[in-house]
Structure 1
């Protein structure tokens, strides 16, 4: 007999029976833009570990099988999975970092992405701000290269710069298809958080289709941006304008905002960041590069100027129409100055921000029902939305 452990017996075995072989048992997802002074460089990475469980079964009246000892192939499985993921991360970083730059705009700092071989860079409008000269540091480590502003589009918080010369080793980024972005995808954020150029953080796509309003204080543009990608990858001051990348080395968004928690004094809410989707980035960049400005925003508009109104308890209760653009969508639908808009489509309107967010979810040409009050009387009108 071998030395394998035996199971308990409930009764003595038959005297004439030999021990048979043991049977095998099988184990059976408010905002603050970010810019900071330049510091030193670093990078981060992450890996996943796996574990295996062996099961020892016992049988009634039979010998149990010895505990299964992992073979060399099972011992190698977990490290191989970790190595594969780590290699994937490193390949993406090697592919994309040469397309990510650091932007010094006066005494402020942000990130940018190389858009084409002519040296156009895409970044956030709040990174550019009011600066008129820029110094660009590329991943190859050369001396900073001057760049000029082509145009800024604060309504979508995007801007295009152009390098005076294209350094060796710099290559255009490859942009992905925003419609294919799915919750749960692994992503890496690349940029210069807190001035640490060439930094990489990792996370997942937490949600898609978010509409977020950027603060107008602290250097923000106050833009309301629709269809943003929410991510758990850390986005810190200085990451703005950089790259949010999938494991195919495709840029799926431009990191722009980090959520803040009012209950914590508007400090950053960890793991809640937002990126402008690649489709909008390409739409804006192509128009600026071709014509010098955005001629087709793709953003819906009512054709009014408005302000937030308060009720008797000093709470926001709607958006008052201050002025109506002649021949615009609201004018065509019969809205007048003094009307108070309370709903657009299915969205309740209490502030000018909520109106902007509702419009950001619509497209030019869409027909929506606008509910409003005039002289205390409730009314509604169907409006064919125009374009900003």
Structure 2
């Protein structure tokens, strides 16, 4: 049986647009069908590009591991020579001990949890018995990631260890939610490389053999019964991975989240047609950004930083695209009157695990 991780893939908030491309069954009236030469040469794969793919696989795949936790399988990336491995928080779950299989050997090695930070779906574990030859991955600069870059996703999808898929960077700076009540992840890299259960925690790699992200989520299409939307996956950018992993290794937990906060507790409110109509403030932190801007319980937030807010999730997504210390506008309703406030954002707390 093929094992898979328990994490469901993220549901797209916007309805997917499916375009059916139909080919003409024949030439237009009065025109001749173009001839095709039977001797025309078939397209060939560029040997240089193929060699580049194989070089990257040889460079990076030894740094990608398989992690067994609580009966499920996931992936991880060797972070340093001390045996630290970065992966997703949803891969480790509530487990404290794990079995890790390196790409270069068959026998599992035991590992223990260092720390996890579910708010950004990241965790660090450490091998308890270091092998002689351990190859840490090289993490790239997320600021250099550009749309259209060719990338390879490496991991253990559906338990098929050391698998590689290919695609491009489709977008950067995405904010996505893992679901109602789950983490909202900011500044994500979107890719067309296949991300399947078991790929979580693996490596998204550029053609310079640098890890530019940790594959985390694939999209689901609600118009197709919640089935996986092909070619839409998301990875935590390398800069976020190193920023948080270094804290977990050095301090045993995340102390600086780097995530923007308003300092409010909110709930979703419904409009006259019973559709989500905003995020109502239930509590305001004393001395927090919202209170300093004049917001108070009962106000209904309808926009943040130019993004529409219809519910708790969309507010979290809007915040995920911003940074602590930045100034932005909050649109809200108070007694059915539309108002706007300028807010200097704070930083979300990083709770202990």
Where on the TM-score scale, by shorter chain, does this alignment land: which range?
Answer: 0.7 to 0.9
Partner of 1:186: 150
SS state at 1:139 partner:
coil
Residue 212 (str. 1) matches residue 170 (str. 2): no
In structure 1, C-alpha distance between the alignment counterparts of 2:194 and 2:66, rounded to whole Å: 17
Query: C-alpha offsets along residues 228-251 of structure 1, whole Å, 9 cap, x if unaligned?
Result: 111111110000000000111000
In structure 2, C-alpha distance between the alignment counterparts of 1:115 and 1:381, rounded to whole Å: 43
Deviation at 1:373, TM superposition (A): 1.4
Given that 1:140 and 1:169 are in contact with CA atoms closer than 8 Å, whether structure 2 keeps it comes out as no
After TM superposition, the score normalised by the length of structure 2 is 0.85
| Structure 1 gap segments, 5+ residues each | 1-33, 37-69
Question: Number of aligned pairs?
Answer: 312
In structure 1, C-alpha distance between the alignment counterparts of 2:205 and 2:132, rounded to whole Å: 23
Which residue of 153, 163, 168 corresponds with 1:199? 163
In structure 2, C-alpha distance between the alignment counterparts of 1:239 and 1:345, rounded to whole Å: 33
Q: How does 1:134-145 map to 2 (within 5 A)?
A: 134-145=98-109
Bigger Rg, which one: 1
SS state at 1:222 partner:
coil
Given that 1:193 and 1:238 are in contact with CA atoms closer than 8 Å, whether structure 2 keeps it comes out as yes
In structure 1, C-alpha distance between the alignment counterparts of 2:221 and 2:133, rounded to whole Å: 41
In structure 2, C-alpha distance between the alignment counterparts of 1:234 and 1:208, rounded to whole Å: 17
Residue 243 (str. 1) matches residue 207 (str. 2): no
Q: How does 1:250-265 map to 2 (within 5 A)?
A: 250-265=210-225
Q: How does 1:1-388 map to 2 (within 5 A)?
A: 35=5, 82-215=46-179, 222-388=182-348
Deviation at 1:258, TM superposition (A): 0.4
Alpha-carbon RMSD across the aligned residues, in angstroms, is 1.7
SS state at 1:92 partner:
helix
Query: C-alpha offsets along residues 131-190 of structure 1, whole Å, 9 cap, x if unaligned?
Result: 122100000124111111111101100001011022233211000111111111111100
Deviation at 1:336, TM superposition (A): 1.0
In structure 1, C-alpha distance between the alignment counterparts of 2:125 and 2:205, rounded to whole Å: 21
Given that 1:209 and 1:227 are in contact with CA atoms closer than 8 Å, whether structure 2 keeps it comes out as yes
| Structure 2 gap segments, 5+ residues each | 7-39, 349-353
Query: C-alpha offsets along residues 325-353 of structure 1, whole Å, 9 cap, x if unaligned?
Result: 11111111111111111111211111111
Query: C-alpha offsets along residues 52-84 of structure 1, whole Å, 9 cap, x if unaligned?
Result: xxxxxxxxxxxxxxxxxx9xxxx9xx86x7222
Deviation at 1:255, TM superposition (A): 0.3
Query: C-alpha offsets along residues 254-306 of structure 1, whole Å, 9 cap, x if unaligned?
Result: 00000100111111011111111000001010111111111111110000110
In structure 2, C-alpha distance between the alignment counterparts of 1:209 and 1:162, rounded to whole Å: 30
